[in-house]
Amino acid sequence: MNIKMISVGKLKFKWFKQGVAEYKKRCSRFCNFKTVIVKSEPEPEPLSKGQAEQIMDKEGTRILKKIKPKEYVFALAIKGKQLTSVQFAHEIQRLATYGHPDITFVIGGSLGLASKVLKRSDAQISFGKFTYPHELMRTVLAEQIYRAFMINSGTPYNK
């Protein structure tokens, strides 16, 4: 199984890099876990709605270039479906079992995801109605992917 996490912008803080690296390492016994970073666009202040749309569109184009046609894509979106960790694990297992060994997760930049990225996604998921810094979300997502594999393997990590 191949898991790819695409996100916008570099990780600036060492502890976020370490967190993602740790869960990526832990996942290595279950899958090939790859992280892909696309360049973020500068955001002028003040930012008009039109400028925000242009920025998301440019970032969206960069994201879509990193997605292959065969990949099953989860977009992280605040309006997406909220899952428990067990439901998430079962969804990963279902996809792997039924012909989707390549799963991609997309985390947008500070403005969110362009509509064209949401349209390309096969599913939209949410980690709640809170807004998280995209750097923190990468670490949280990496941990939940690892947790899903641990749940599916029947280990007590989830307890």
Residue 76 marked ligand-binding = yes
What secondary structure does DSSP assign to the chain, as a single string?
Answer: -EEEEEEES---SHHHHHHHHHHHHHHTTT-EEEEEEEPPPP--SS--HHHHHHHHHHHHHHHHHT--TT-EEEEEEEEEEE--HHHHHHHHHHHHHTT--EEEEEE-BTTB--HHHHHH-SEEEES-SS---HHHHHHHHHHHHHHHHHHHTT-GGG-
Residues making up the annotated binding site are: 76, 108
Residues making up the annotated binding site for S-adenosyl-L-methionine are: 76, 108
